[in-house]
Structure 1
């Protein structure tokens, strides 16, 4: 099928969405005259060096001298992966942002920078912040208001530290559970991304980007990252354009209509061509057909992957439509930010990157900064900083948690547990482990088991609190000592991981750790009712778990508020969530989407979920 024919095939599908979107863009433009004038004024006064500086985003730990922010008129700073400030308390993060901002405002034109972080389930690299369920759990809620509330609290905690740009939401449609980023997706169906992505944008950006408590959303990763062959991270999505549009594009169409101000390009490829250099998708489709008026940022060193020749890679990416380039390396390292600036300037002077392309990229960035009123609110907000991790914010997260839990099995009506029982065993390695409960992208890039964050409540602590001193609650990580108890709650799960390291390929399966299964088996042998809580970023293999459990609660990666799990276990909230993924019986059934033949033989179908 030719490109023209494929586009005609999709035209009627998108017409209804595009027309109101275009109308919305026009209405928004009418309200943004002041911001446009400010952006145009900045642009008219800028030298080429200053323009390229605005297109450069440098990782905080890449600086040898923070004074480069002033000297090079840099437009953005990020903390990505594990490149956090040494002090990761709210005060430490606020100081890092405020120090960078003060240097930006010393430059000739005093254009504020925008500081970005991967706040993907709360302000998740800040010690003491509230950590929300990852997107896979929010997808199970099927509730846009839940997603919006989580994003709004995240925005408030970010603004408290002065940070106004979240690299979220991820609207990937995860089609293969081997993918280590499955939990960053709302689910396997495009409708979930199209409904919940805009809700996250609303929560982050609020009613207006101009508000002092607004945070710029960054919808990612454009486009098709969840559909790579065999679920390989940064891999190749192999499909025709009609399928790309039908499955992977709806989340972007809806998020743009909602007013998302930035979009991140994907590491992945579409039919062999990397997205960071894909002019048709980034410029023609995203900016042209879809009318996206914000700016496109690269992923972490994503431009580098286009060519071993860094200058050629810059040429490809900027001409493809990438507006801001994320650079993790400092002077003296491979492909550093000084080299990027020098080589992009060379490309402009050689006529390989048109001056008009530079002006378009810079104007997009400046327009967002002007719309955000960054110049009027450049620093952290002490009042909001004091509310990071507050009881009020934790109650929002608690409500989110209980609305994301999927009841998969409940034989003999073991759940809800009676609050009048005499003795409850709470077993399993994850029962009292906040790190496992939160998963990846929590303090550390890959996450970490153990006491990684201050604040929050484990399942064990939540059950003890809810049941009170009248019930004997016994903790047993390995499952021993369960005999004679009235019931047991066994908490098991995947160990924390994030992108790349979470992929399951080369013979690796989605089975749970041996220690967890051994603990569950030991409790089962005690002959008491067993309710199992499973922490996972995707459907995992449940064979032994099914055999050893009377009840199973899929809790995903719920974050810091274990009280939400206790609410469901004890019947204070009846389960309402439904599976955002078809749940396979075995690895042989993956991929296991509703369109795949294997789905009919799945363990649980998409949308499954019991209640009391």
Structure 2
């Protein structure tokens, strides 16, 4: 029985039908007895066994779906495919039109209804007054917390801690369900290789393996152990698929991804969500290879349903069905409704082409009624799994919202999200009794620290860095904002900021970008610190010479090429959520040793984008020993490409900081890498052993990473692929022997025929602290 299935007795209608069905089956067997002279006792035993197995195989959820479908009119069926709502909270009184639509069974789900009384009333109408009492699903974008806000998803990816991500999602579900929200449009699983894209803030980063592990964690956290639990919130894997590969990092745009690349890089996190039991998918805004994904049969039918066996339902993105007209794929709304339904979009978010045209399409014979039935069955199946027919009403857990335990977990997530990128002269952790100037627009930005896509977060609940630092360090802190917000161009406070720096031993500069500068439809062509932040940093350095610690709060990696030489330490703090202040303070003073690692390569400049670690080798791979820089070219040099490799003359071929990178207040060393065999077949496992030592004076956590390289293939393979990772805690001077196991699934890939294969040849296994690790052992697959 599926999780959340009913255990009630079968209704009389089904008992009668079951008896008739079994009698017919028995009749067939009797006929065969007469023909084949099967012994009577054998027949009776077989009949009893058959009847028992038939009875056991009947799924109560599917029975209830059948029962409902047999009673529903065409209008009611179409109604289940409609999600209504607004882009913000429903205000004022509930309209009679909305209540009547629910009463008539013409709405299946509502989005952004956040008044508890409205939720209760609309659900009551659906259950008590609609023709078949089918409950509504109330939905909301609960992306990285509800009231207790956790770090943005890209920040959570930097924890490399799926268990912590799962706990954050569970807390979000408990809080949101108090308001009746039982469906979230998360997790976003788009692989992102372009930090100009505003929605990279919601992404798990650039790597399919890390993204897949986080995908399953989010699904488990949101949905919980039992879908019928009133605090369970069904998850939605989005945006299916390729949205993160849109041209130029621009929203709503074109993605071109050949199928083997799609299967090797972009699809794995979504398949992992299916394996974890995700109940819904969302089709994206983008087009993929010329077809908008909300009308893409290959993705929504062949891959999702036929290959992966997904039996939940697919919802469109906001108006993405009718936006296929602007894409140039559909003539009008009727055509859009036809192509979306044919492709496999079961529920239409906010636009109303299904409501307006599905009946007409069916009446005209363009759309088969069986297709609509399949759509509606999928929606009803999920509602039944959620237990909404038995418990349609919300359970109020108001006392848990922003509870001490929730805030504590949010602080832990914030602390583990931070990545120490630079720490010259061991400026961090801060020394006792230092006089510190706190400067910058993000030190006291309670709304912006919450990050993008936090409809229900309240800035008044935020604990800011300056408040936490002043509480912890008191009179040693001198605070001058310098700039009032991240885009501020005014120099009015420069003189005060410089004076504060002169009177201090060290400057903590809180820079970055406001939350509104990342997220949906907020792509940036230039991703350096906005406003006059760079200029203020340079002025402080030039006129005071004091060491500067740059704390970046942003929704993406920030290009630092103009100021990298002016700052002495860099802590990437993303947008950390409600508990940003205490978490940052505890990392700065050394109570917490930073353990975050980059989930995306950090570019030196915008000109390097896209830059990602798992790229191909090319025919002339770039190498440090043969790199020719722009200043290395003699004046009047003969025009020739000989000796040059695949690189930029001015920015080289490596990122500023590689994927998986992050510093600590201690030192970790790897040694003694061994493997269990030099040659093995596809059925054998490979054991990888090595030693990890904490050689410093401070306890710490290292994120151990294992990469594989497949040197030769029927299609070219990446230079490295992450296959395993683990967070390892070591006390000062402690050493551990660690082991990873590699099997066939870690070495397979989709070839040019889109077949999952393991090809013989030479491989290397790498172990280390980031994607640029060189410690390796070679092995062969026969």
- The aligned residue for residue 566 of structure 1 is 585
Select between 511-520 and 432-441 the one with higher mean Cα deviation: 511-520
Is it true that 1:66 corresponds to 2:66 in the alignment? Answer: no
Q: TM-score, normalised by structure 1?
A: 0.85
Select which of 549, 572, 576 maps to 2:567.
Answer: 549
Contact 1:173–1:186 (8 Å) recurs in 2: yes
What SS does the aligned partner of 1:233 have?
coil
Q: Distance in 1 between matches of 2:302 and 2:172?
A: 33
Q: 1:31 to 1:73 in 2, by over 3 A?
A: farther
- The aligned residue for residue 20 of structure 1 is none
- The aligned residue for residue 440 of structure 1 is 452
Q: Distance in 1 between matches of 2:58 and 2:554?
A: 43
Q: CA deviation at 1:181?
A: 0.7
- The aligned residue for residue 183 of structure 1 is 201
Contact 2:312–2:382 (8 Å) recurs in 1: yes
What SS does the aligned partner of 1:553 have?
strand
Select which of 651, 660, 663 maps to 1:610.
Answer: 663
- The aligned residue for residue 509 of structure 2 is 490
Q: CA deviation at 1:122?
A: 0.8
- The aligned residue for residue 274 of structure 2 is 256
Q: 1:428 to 1:53 in 2, by over 3 A?
A: same
Q: CA deviation at 1:194?
A: 0.8
Contact 1:439–1:557 (8 Å) recurs in 2: yes
- The aligned residue for residue 71 of structure 2 is 45
Select which of 78, 81, 105 maps to 1:55.
Answer: 81
Q: CA deviation at 1:32?
A: 9.3
Q: CA deviation at 1:465?
A: 2.6
- The aligned residue for residue 107 of structure 1 is 130
- The aligned residue for residue 433 of structure 2 is 421
Q: Distance in 2 between matches of 1:470 and 1:225?
A: 49
Q: CA deviation at 1:311?
A: 0.6
Q: CA deviation at 1:466?
A: 2.9
Q: CA deviation at 1:500?
A: 5.0
Give the greater-gyration-radius structure (CA). Answer: 2
Contact 2:434–2:506 (8 Å) recurs in 1: no
Contact 1:491–1:532 (8 Å) recurs in 2: yes
Q: 1:475 to 1:93 in 2, by over 3 A?
A: farther
| CA-based RMSD | 2.1
Q: 1:378 to 1:515 in 2, by over 3 A?
A: farther
- The aligned residue for residue 443 of structure 2 is 431
- The aligned residue for residue 10 of structure 2 is none
| 1:334-373 matched pairs, under 5 angstroms | 337=352, 340-373=354-387
Q: 1:436 to 1:276 in 2, by over 3 A?
A: same
| 1:95-244 matched pairs, under 5 angstroms | 95-105=117-127, 106-123=129-146, 129-244=147-262
Q: CA deviation at 1:215?
A: 0.5
Contact 2:511–2:550 (8 Å) recurs in 1: yes
Q: Distance in 2 between matches of 1:189 and 1:436?
A: 27
Residue by residue over 1:440-485, the C-alpha shift from the partner in whole angstroms, topping out at 9 and shown as x without a partner, is 21239xx9xxxx6220211111222333x46444343343422221
Select which of 593, 599, 602 maps to 1:580.
Answer: 599
Contact 1:429–1:515 (8 Å) recurs in 2: no
Q: 1:254 to 1:31 in 2, by over 3 A?
A: farther
Select which of 85, 99, 109 maps to 1:76.
Answer: 109
What SS does the aligned partner of 1:216 have?
coil
Select which of 519, 525, 534 maps to 2:536.
Answer: 519
Q: Which has the higher strand share?
A: 2
Q: CA deviation at 1:94?
A: 2.4
What SS does the aligned partner of 1:392 have?
helix
Q: Distance in 2 between matches of 1:153 and 1:71?
A: 35
Contact 1:432–1:460 (8 Å) recurs in 2: yes
Select the structure with the greater relative contact order (CA < 8 A; seq sep ≥ 6).
Answer: 1
Q: 1:423 to 1:175 in 2, by over 3 A?
A: same
Select which of 503, 511, 518 maps to 2:523.
Answer: 503
Q: 1:376 to 1:72 in 2, by over 3 A?
A: closer
| 1:269-308 matched pairs, under 5 angstroms | 269-306=287-324, 307-308=330-331
Is it true that 1:400 corresponds to 2:400 in the alignment? Answer: no
What SS does the aligned partner of 2:590 have?
coil
Q: 1:513 to 1:193 in 2, by over 3 A?
A: same
Is it true that 1:476 corresponds to 2:494 in the alignment? Answer: no
Q: Distance in 1 between matches of 2:120 and 2:551?
A: 42
What SS does the aligned partner of 1:548 have?
coil
Q: Distance in 2 between matches of 1:192 and 1:243?
A: 17
Q: Distance in 2 between matches of 1:590 and 1:543?
A: 14
Is it true that 1:459 corresponds to 2:465 in the alignment? Answer: yes
Q: CA deviation at 1:249?
A: 0.3
Contact 1:460–1:475 (8 Å) recurs in 2: no
Residue by residue over 1:240-272, the C-alpha shift from the partner in whole angstroms, topping out at 9 and shown as x without a partner, is 100011110000111100000000001111111
Q: 1:415 to 1:499 in 2, by over 3 A?
A: closer
Q: CA deviation at 1:228?
A: 1.7
Q: 1:271 to 1:564 in 2, by over 3 A?
A: same
Select which of 311, 335, 343 maps to 1:312.
Answer: 335
Q: 1:346 to 1:474 in 2, by over 3 A?
A: same
Q: 1:32 to 1:187 in 2, by over 3 A?
A: farther
Residue by residue over 1:249-300, the C-alpha shift from the partner in whole angstroms, topping out at 9 and shown as x without a partner, is 0001111000000000011111111101111111111111111111000000
Q: Distance in 2 between matches of 1:417 and 1:60?
A: 48
Q: CA deviation at 1:349?
A: 1.4
Contact 2:469–2:477 (8 Å) recurs in 1: no
Residue by residue over 1:173-222, the C-alpha shift from the partner in whole angstroms, topping out at 9 and shown as x without a partner, is 00212211111111111112111011000000011212221100000000
Q: Distance in 2 between matches of 1:350 and 1:582?
A: 53
Q: Distance in 1 between matches of 2:475 and 2:364?
A: 79
Q: Distance in 2 between matches of 1:304 and 1:523?
A: 52
Q: Distance in 2 between matches of 1:475 and 1:375?
A: 57
Q: Distance in 2 between matches of 1:134 and 1:120?
A: 8
Q: Distance in 2 between matches of 1:465 and 1:34?
A: 58
Q: 1:32 to 1:427 in 2, by over 3 A?
A: farther
Contact 2:548–2:569 (8 Å) recurs in 1: yes
Q: Distance in 1 between matches of 2:198 and 2:367?
A: 36
What SS does the aligned partner of 1:533 have?
strand
- The aligned residue for residue 531 of structure 1 is 549
Contact 2:143–2:454 (8 Å) recurs in 1: no
Q: Distance in 1 between matches of 2:318 and 2:134?
A: 24
Number of residues of Structure 1 aligned to a counterpart in Structure 2: 546
Select between 403-412 and 553-562 the one with higher mean Cα deviation: 553-562
Q: 1:475 to 1:130 in 2, by over 3 A?
A: farther
Q: CA deviation at 1:405?
A: 0.6
